[in-house]
């Protein structure tokens, strides 16, 4: 039987329901477990963590909206992640972790062999928490790290903390998606992030919705997109004090870059799949001919 999913939202879970969930985890029949906003006892939370620890199929664990509500639960989750080897995506959005809670969880996160996506939005983090998160974005060639990171709505982080994150993003060899929406970043932090994006070779999506930006930030980001080759494909600037004209200019430039890259990729694929090479005996010149047809690129599916 192929691993399936268990998705429950906003329910009060009984002991019997928890037993069924844990049995499915131990039988490796669950790939996605989402208990978003559910109510469960301390004992039952411990059972779920032990089930997750034993599971070899669980790839996505969603405990958003207050499930991890105290330090004891943070400790139990950390112990589960130290044993688990399969979880790729962990969602804790809306959990009152604070920097202290993240400090307890961080050792398990930093050694997990499969984790690539982490949501710590609205987790009451500050600068100390950001410093820990930067350790999950190792520099080029160091070790595996996060590909997707969400830090939405953590207003306790200061400019110093965001600056530290910008440096880590600039040097990360793997981060592709960064969500910073609904943080009071302002133009100064946006400038730091523009430098980070210009330096990054992997960042494709940056969400800055509702972050207190103005046309000053937009102009800096426009200059970055226009003058520096980046991997960036999507830049979200909604709910900021930025003119529609500037937003459209940035969007158009990003679209142009994506179209050019797709065209180049199709041409390369065509040359690799259908090469006819003719050698001119009178000279060393090589003439490469292709059919001009290439397979379309496969779109990567995100969980």
Task: Please give the chain's pLDDT, 303 residues, in tens.
Answer: 457 999 999 999 999 999 999 999 999 999 999 999 999 999 999 999 999 999 999 999 999 999 999 999 999 999 999 999 999 999 999 999 999 999 999 999 999 999 999 999 999 999 999 999 999 998 876 678 899 999 999 999 999 999 999 999 999 989 999 999 999 999 999 999 999 999 999 999 999 999 999 999 999 999 999 999 999 999 999 999 999 999 999 999 999 856 555 555 455 444 444 544 333 443 333 332 222 323 322 233 333
Q: Give the per-residue pLDDT at 95.
A: 97
User: Can you read off the two tokens belonging to residue 74?
Assistant: 């943070």
In the sheet with 117-119, reading across from the earlier edge strand, the strands are: 4-7, 30-34, 60-62, 89-91, 117-119, 148-150, 177-179, 205-207, 234-236
- Show which of 87, 119, 151 is a domain's final residue: 119
Domain annotation covers residue 280: no
Q: Give the per-residue pLDDT at 257.
A: 58
Domain annotation covers residue 45: yes
Q: What is the extent of the structural domain holding 198? A: 125-260
pTM: 0.84
Residues 75 and 178 reside in one and the same domain? no
Q: Give the per-residue pLDDT at 295.
A: 34
Q: Give the per-residue pLDDT at 143.
A: 73
Cα torsion 226, 227, 231, 233 to 10°: value is -10
Domain annotation covers residue 86: yes
Residues 135 and 253 reside in one and the same domain? yes
Chain-centroid distance of CA 268 in Å reads 29
Q: How many domains does the chain have?
A: 2
Q: Which of 182, 159, 211 is nearest to 93 (CA)?
A: 182
Q: Give the per-residue pLDDT at 256.
A: 84
Domain annotation covers residue 74: yes
Domain annotation covers residue 220: yes
Residues 66 and 108 reside in one and the same domain? yes
Domain annotation covers residue 274: no
The helix/strand/coil state of 31 is strand
Supply the CATH number for residue 30's domain: 3.80.10.10
Residues 153 and 185 reside in one and the same domain? yes
Residues 39 and 160 reside in one and the same domain? no
Residues 106 and 139 reside in one and the same domain? no
Q: Give the per-residue pLDDT at 261.
A: 53
Residues 26 and 150 reside in one and the same domain? no
Residues 92 and 142 reside in one and the same domain? no
- Show which of 119, 134, 160 is a domain's final residue: 119
Residues 142 and 96 reside in one and the same domain? no
Residues 184 and 135 reside in one and the same domain? yes
Residues 110 and 130 reside in one and the same domain? no
Residues 189 and 96 reside in one and the same domain? no
Q: Give the per-residue pLDDT at 93.
A: 98
DSSP string across 130-161: HHHHHTTSPBTTS----SEEE--S-TT--HHH
Q: Give the per-residue pLDDT at 266.
A: 52
Q: Give the per-residue pLDDT at 278.
A: 34
Domain annotation covers residue 295: no
Q: Give the per-residue pLDDT at 280.
A: 41
Domain annotation covers residue 301: no
- Show which of 56, 85, 119 is a domain's final residue: 119
């Amino acid at each position: 039987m192929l691993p399936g999913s268990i998705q429950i939202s906003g329910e009060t879970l009984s002991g019997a329901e928890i037993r069924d969930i844990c049995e499915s985890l131990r039988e490796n029949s669950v790939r996605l477990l989402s208990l978003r906003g559910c109510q469960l006892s301390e004992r039952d939370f411990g059972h779920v963590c032990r089930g997750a620890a034993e599971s070899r199929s669980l790839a996505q664990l969603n405990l958003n909206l207050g499930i991890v509500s105290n330090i004891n639960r943070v400790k139990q989750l950390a112990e589960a992640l130290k044993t688990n080897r399969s979880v790729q995506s962990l969602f804790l959005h809306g959990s009152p972790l604070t920097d202290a809670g993240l400090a307890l969880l961080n050792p398990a996160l930093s050694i997990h062999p499969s984790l690539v996506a982490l949501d710590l939005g609205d987790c009451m983090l500050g600068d100390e928490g950001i410093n820990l998160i930067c350790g999950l974005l190792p520099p080029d060639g160091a070790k595996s790290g996060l590909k997707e990171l969400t830090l939405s709505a953590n207003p306790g982080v200061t400019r110093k903390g965001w600056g530290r994150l910008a440096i880590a993003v600039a040097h990360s060899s793997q981060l592709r998606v960064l969500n910073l929406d609904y943080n009071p970043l302002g133009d100064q932090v946006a400038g730091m992030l523009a430098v980070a994006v210009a330096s990054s070779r992997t960042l494709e999506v940056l969400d800055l919705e509702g972050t207190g930006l103005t046309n000053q930030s937009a102009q800096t980001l426009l200059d970055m997109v226009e003058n520096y080759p980046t991997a960036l494909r999507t830049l979200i600037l909604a709910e900021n004090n930025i003119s529609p004209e500037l937003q459209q200019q940035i969007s158009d430039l990003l679209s142009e870059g994506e179209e050019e890259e797709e065209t180049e990729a199709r041409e390369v694929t065509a040359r690799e799949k259908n090469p006819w090479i003719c050698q001119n005996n009178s000279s060393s010149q090589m003439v490469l001919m292709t059919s001009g047809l290439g397979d379309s690129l496969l779109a990567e599916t995100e969980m």
